[in-house]
Amino acid sequence: AWLLGIEAGDTQVAGQLLGKRLILTEIPAYRELGMLAQQGAVSARSFVVLSYALCGFTHVASMGIFVGGFAALAPGRRDDLASLGPRALLGAVLATLMTGALAGILFHGQASLIR
């Protein structure tokens, strides 16, 4: 989380939110981020970075949808698709993390974004 540009005091919370997004979906993670922002428990910078880093279909359920959907289209390639699923998930996670990092680079301290 620190490499994304999350402030040092928010790294544990950010890691938990990113883990929730990966295992569950982005909905519970966004709910918790919203509550933390209302309480002032995360900085404005961390809020912006996490808002972008949590966005996307980068969770285990989406990998299942990917494999199941494409396996229905090409039943003979089911094993190939199943082995490709975790790599596609890793690529998707890295893409959303890069988006969050870029948001952190472009952030200029407008605290009004979270009010």
Domain ranges of the chain: 2-109
CA dihedral of residues 57, 60, 61, 67 (deg, nearest 10) = 90
With cut-offs at 50, 70 and 90, classify the pLDDT of residue 1: confident
With cut-offs at 50, 70 and 90, classify the pLDDT of residue 100: very high
pLDDT per residue over 25-61, tens digit each? 999 999 999 999 999 999 999 999 999 999 988 899 9
In the predicted structure, residue 12 carries a pLDDT above the cut 90: yes
For range 69-97, the mean pLDDT: 91
Instruction: Report pLDDT for 108.
Output: 80
- The distance in angstroms from the start CA to the end CA of the chain is 23
Instruction: Report pLDDT for 111.
Output: 54
Q: What is the pTM of this model?
A: 0.83
CB 37 within 8 A of CB 114: yes
CB 17 within 8 A of CB 50: yes
